Homo-oligomer: A and B are copies of this chain.
Amino acid sequence: MADIRTIVVNRSAYADNDAEADLLREYLFDHKTYLVNVMSSPGAGKTTTLIKLINSLKDQFKIGVMEADIDSDVDAISVAKETGVKSIQIHTSGMCHLDAGMTKSGLDAIGSNDLDLVFLENVGNLVCPAEFDTGAVLNMVILSVPEGDDKPLKYPLVFSKCDLVLINKIDTLEYFNFNFDACTDMIKFRNPNSTIIKISALKGENIEQVKTYLIDKMTEWRNK
């Protein structure tokens, strides 16, 4: 076996936007608007999951969606068309993430004060979005079966920051080598308090379970 060495080539130097994110959470609490930040790799199924979730929740809550992307509008158009809720596209002009200030600009643009629940679909990326607190009340990550069970090992920060982990595309399990036990163990190692739900957004499988989880969390937050 060849020799393995490890070198550290740089250190992260991101600005701290924690204070701004905390202020945004206070603002959201004052307006009783629950903000959910949704993160994943490109193509893990964020938009499909949101469409299914919103359609299951929209009779009970006033919902808005902010779709962040480098420069296309396809997700905001899909969500608006498939759900009918207020939808806005946020262009990041090449930026790999959203921070609290950018999120606040999006909320102002969508007019969030009338909304009970806003989903923020972050840029498809498992690295940068986790480094910037958006000010969301709940952080969710979607990991899809075809990506492999080792992602919580390789992308530690996003899994350590997430309250809810959805393992999506479970309808394709038989075609991929995916070890749920190993994956779950690593997610729990990253964050023992996280909740894991297996779903197939395409087939609608276990979307009701996610809906119940979100309603419970929202109710708890509103009553605190």
Contact = CB atoms under 8 A, between A and B. Distances in A.
Given A96-B127, A148-B43, A154-B42, A91 B2 contact: no
Given A72-B154, A126-B125, A1 B84 contact: yes
Nearest to A150: B74
Contacts of A42: 41, 126, 147, 151, 154-155
A171 B178 CA distance: 16
Contacts of A76: 4, 6
A19 interface: no
Copies of this chain assembled into the complex: 2
Which of under 10, 10 to 19, 20 to 34, or 35 or more describes the interface residues of A? 35 or more
Interface string A46-88: 0000000000000000000000011111101100110111111
Contacts of A5: 88-89, 109
A154 B68 CA distance: 10
A169 interface: yes
Nearest to A10: B95
B6 A73 contact: yes
Interface in A89-112: 89-96, 98, 101-102, 105-106, 109
Contacts of A70: 127, 154-157
Given A9-B95, A11-B95, A96-B96, 5 more contacts: A1-B80, A71-B156, A72-B154, A96-B127, A144-B146
21 contacts: A1-B80, A2-B80, A2-B87, A5-B88, A7-B89, A7-B105, A8-B93, A9-B90, A9-B98, A9-B101, A11-B94, A12-B93, A70-B154, A72-B150, A74-B154, A94-B127, A125-B127, A125-B128, A127-B128, A146-B146, A146-B172
